[in-house]
Structure 1
Amino acid sequence: MSSPIRPPHLGIQLHVDLDRDLRPHRSAKIEAHLRVDVTATGAAAELPAVELAVIIALDVAETHRAAVRRALPAALRALPDGISFAVLGSGGPEPARCYPLGGAEWAVADQNHRRRAAFAAGAVPLHRDGPRPAGYAAWAAKARALLAARPLSVRHLLLITDGSSAPGETRLQEELDACAGQFTCDVLAVGADWSPDPLLALAERLHGTAEFVDDGLSSAITGAIRRLRRVHAPQLPIEVTVRPAVRQVSLNEKAPRPHRLGGLRRRGRPHLWSFPTYQWEPGSRDYLLTLVADADADPLETDLQFAMVSVGDVHVPVTARWHHPERPPPHGPAGSGTLRGLKTTTLMRDALRKGLIAVRHDQGDAAERHLGQAARLAARLGTQWVLDEIDEVAVIEDAVAGRVRLRPAVDTDTLAPMLLRAGSRPGGTLTDIAGALPGPRCGHCDTPAGSEARYCIKCGEKLL
Structure 2
Amino acid sequence: MTMSDFQIEVYQNEYLPQGAAEVNAIVTVTSSGSGAQVPASTPAAEVIIVDCSGSMDHPRTKMAAAKRATAAAIDTLRDGVAFAVIAGTDIATLVYPGKLGMAEVSPRTRAEAKAAVERLYADRGTAMGEWLLLAAQVFQTRQNPLRHAILLTDGKNVHERASKLDQILGEVAGEFVCDCRGVGTDWEVRELRKISETLLGSVDIVAEPEDLEQDFRAMTTASMGKEVADVALRVWTPQGARVKFVKQVEPALADLTGRREESGPRSGDYPTGSWGAESRDYHVCVQVSPANIGDKMLAARVSLVTRGGDVLGKGQVLAIWTDDTALSTKISPEVAHYTGQAELASAIEEGIEAQRTGDVETATAKLGRAVALAHSSGHEDTAKLLAKVVDVVDPARGTVRLKRDVSAVDAMTLESRSQVTKRVGKSGGQS
Structure-1-length-normalised TM-score = 0.81
Contact 2:12 2:26 in 1 (8 A): yes
Task: State the secondary structure of the residue aligned to 2:249.
Answer: strand
Q: What residue identity is the alignment partner of 1:314? A: G
What per-residue deviation string (whole Å, max 9, x for no partner) do you get for residues 354-391 of structure 1? 22222222211111111111111221122111211111
Contact 1:144 1:183 in 2 (8 A): yes
Call closer, same or farther: CA 1:75–1:375 in 2, change over 3 Å: same
**Counterpart for residue 48 of structure 2:** 56
What per-residue deviation string (whole Å, max 9, x for no partner) do you get for residues 370-427 of structure 1? 11111112211221112111111100000001101101122234322321111189xx
Q: What residue identity is the alignment partner of 2:141? A: A
**Counterpart for residue 109 of structure 1:** 105
Contact 1:19 1:334 in 2 (8 A): yes
Instruction: Select 2:77's aligned residue among 58, 76, 79.
Output: 79
Call closer, same or farther: CA 1:359–1:47 in 2, change over 3 Å: farther
Larger deviation, residues 53-62 vs 30-39? 53-62
Contact 2:3 2:228 in 1 (8 A): no
Task: State the secondary structure of the residue aligned to 2:174.
Answer: coil
* Distance in 2, Cα, partners of 1:59 & 1:70: 14
1:257 equivalent in alignment to 2:252: yes
**Counterpart for residue 180 of structure 1:** 173
1:316 equivalent in alignment to 2:320: no
**Counterpart for residue 16 of structure 1:** 10
Task: State the secondary structure of the residue aligned to 1:345.
Answer: helix
Call closer, same or farther: CA 1:396–1:166 in 2, change over 3 Å: same
Contact 1:255 1:285 in 2 (8 A): yes
**Counterpart for residue 453 of structure 1:** none
Q: What residue identity is the alignment partner of 1:344? A: G
**Counterpart for residue 97 of structure 1:** 94
Larger deviation, residues 195-204 vs 315-324? 315-324
Contact 1:49 1:81 in 2 (8 A): no
Residue 301 of structure 1, CA deviation: 2.4
Call closer, same or farther: CA 1:365–1:90 in 2, change over 3 Å: same
Structure-2-length-normalised TM-score = 0.87
Call closer, same or farther: CA 1:99–1:50 in 2, change over 3 Å: farther
Q: What residue identity is the alignment partner of 1:161? A: T
* Distance in 2, Cα, partners of 1:413 & 1:289: 35
Instruction: Select 2:351's aligned residue among 355, 376, 394.
Output: 355
* Distance in 2, Cα, partners of 1:85 & 1:22: 52
* Distance in 2, Cα, partners of 1:341 & 1:241: 25
* Distance in 2, Cα, partners of 1:210 & 1:258: 11
Larger radius of gyration: 1
1:285 equivalent in alignment to 2:285: no
Larger deviation, residues 342-351 vs 328-337? 328-337
Instruction: Select 2:153's aligned residue among 140, 146, 161.
Output: 161
* Distance in 1, Cα, partners of 2:4 & 2:235: 20
**Counterpart for residue 193 of structure 1:** 186
Call closer, same or farther: CA 1:164–1:37 in 2, change over 3 Å: closer
> How many residue pairs are counted as aligned between the two chains?
404
Residue 85 of structure 1, CA deviation: 1.3
Residue 323 of structure 1, CA deviation: 3.5
- Structure 2 residue runs of 5 or longer lacking an equivalent are 305-310, 422-431
Residue 288 of structure 1, CA deviation: 0.5
Call closer, same or farther: CA 1:339–1:185 in 2, change over 3 Å: same
Matches within 5 A, 1:229-378: 229-261=224-256, 262-267=259-264, 269=265, 271-295=266-290, 298-311=291-304, 312-324=311-323, 329-331=325-327, 336-378=332-374
Contact 1:127 1:164 in 2 (8 A): no
Q: What residue identity is the alignment partner of 1:61? A: S
Call closer, same or farther: CA 1:221–1:207 in 2, change over 3 Å: same
**Counterpart for residue 45 of structure 1:** 37
**Counterpart for residue 444 of structure 1:** none
Task: State the secondary structure of the residue aligned to 1:277.
Answer: strand
Give me the identity figure in percent: 23
- Structure 1 residue runs of 5 or longer lacking an equivalent are 1-6, 426-464
Contact 1:140 1:179 in 2 (8 A): yes
Contact 2:11 2:25 in 1 (8 A): yes
* Distance in 1, Cα, partners of 2:284 & 2:39: 30
Q: What residue identity is the alignment partner of 1:29? A: E
Call closer, same or farther: CA 1:97–1:84 in 2, change over 3 Å: same
* Distance in 1, Cα, partners of 2:41 & 2:371: 43
Contact 1:56 1:159 in 2 (8 A): yes
Contact 1:57 1:160 in 2 (8 A): yes
Contact 1:21 1:330 in 2 (8 A): no
1:225 equivalent in alignment to 2:220: yes
Call closer, same or farther: CA 1:417–1:60 in 2, change over 3 Å: farther
Residue 336 of structure 1, CA deviation: 1.4
What per-residue deviation string (whole Å, max 9, x for no partner) do you get for residues 183-235 of structure 1? 11011111211111121111111111111112321222221111011112112
Contact 2:24 2:283 in 1 (8 A): yes
* Distance in 2, Cα, partners of 1:319 & 1:79: 44
* Distance in 2, Cα, partners of 1:240 & 1:105: 37
Task: State the secondary structure of the residue aligned to 2:388.
Answer: helix
Residue 331 of structure 1, CA deviation: 4.5
* Distance in 1, Cα, partners of 2:11 & 2:397: 29
What per-residue deviation string (whole Å, max 9, x for no partner) do you get for residues 113-136 of structure 1? 2222222212214333xxx35x32
**Counterpart for residue 460 of structure 1:** none
Contact 1:53 1:85 in 2 (8 A): yes
Instruction: Select 1:418's aligned residue among 408, 411, 414.
Output: 414
Q: What residue identity is the alignment partner of 2:384? A: D
Task: Calculate the aligned-residue CA RMSD, in Å.
Answer: 2.4
* Distance in 2, Cα, partners of 1:147 & 1:78: 19
